[in-house]
Copies of this chain bind each other. A is one copy, B any other.
Amino acid sequence: MLPQFNSAFSIDCVIFGFDAGELKILLIERNEEPFKDWWALPGNIVGENESLDQSASRILHELTGLGDIYMEQYYTFGDVARHPQGRVLSVAYYALIRLGGDKALKPISNYAKQAYWVNIKELPRLAFDHQQIFDKGLEKIKRRIKHQPIAFELLPEKFTLTQLQNIYELISDKKLDKRNFRKKMLSFGVLKDLDEKQKGVSFRAATLYRFDKRKYAKLFGKEISF
């Protein structure tokens, strides 16, 4: 083996979820050195026979029991001293997942004591360069939400326009006009009106919509600005 083969690489994931009107990410409490007992992004060393994407999916699955999630590589962090035990590159992924109260997260694997959803505005001090990794991830989805339909990934399959608007306001950090928002969203023709109303709310129930992937696929190539 050549002398250059002396490095390792890992995946770290910024997993966004939307819950109780707040944007949260998944953090673990580390159970191993280095940074034992610190909060950290879920991440792990990539296996010998895993591609990066496969590894990211595996890690997400181990942590949450979830599969089939929109997930994307966005940057690779490689400062010389970012890991105390040697040269370790970290390839960062973000994921957006539906946080239904019903689907509890499955027990997580050994490398963490516990995992929690934490509001992105109240993050604790993080291990390694994970704060930097998070910052870049947030920046990324802020930009991406304009041109790709990632907001839908955070919502349950059936959602109201108000819920959708909340997500946009949370991520972009500004207030939007309700009428203009609805007009624009509906004008893309990618929302399917389900002829069905919200239930269990103590006020007028809103119409439920579903994101229509087929219709979205037909727009491919056109630049959209949600």
Q: Which residues of A contact B (CB under 8 A)?
A: 1-2, 4-9, 45-46, 48-52, 73, 75-76, 78-80, 85-87, 89, 91, 146, 223
Given contacts A52-B89, A73-B76, A76-B76, 14 further A-B contacts (CB under 8 A): A1-B86, A2-B86, A4-B45, A5-B8, A5-B87, A7-B9, A9-B9, A9-B78, A50-B80, A51-B78, A51-B79, A52-B76, A76-B91, A146-B223
Number of copies: 2
Q: A50 CA to B82 CA in the complex, in Å?
A: 12
Which residues of chain B have C-beta atoms less than 8 A from A49's C-beta?
Answer: 80
* Chain B residues, CB < 8 A from A48: 80, 87
Nearest Cβ on chain B to A54's Cβ, whole angstroms: 9
Minimum distance in angstroms from A146 CB to a CB of chain B: 8
Would you call B5 and A86 a contact (CB within 8 A)?
yes
Contacts of A5 in B (CB 8 A): 6-8, 86-87
User: A6 touches which one: B6, B75, B76, B89 (CB < 8 A)?
Assistant: B6
A4 vs B7: C-alpha distance when bound (angstroms): 8
> Of B4, B52, B75, which is within 8 A of A78 by CB?
B52
Complex Cα–Cα for A85 and B1 (A):
8
Contacts of A87 in B (CB 8 A): 5, 48
In angstroms, how far is the closest chain B Cβ from the Cβ of A83?
10
Contacts of A80 in B (CB 8 A): 48-51
Q: In the complex, are the beta carbons of A85 and B46 less than 8 A apart?
A: no
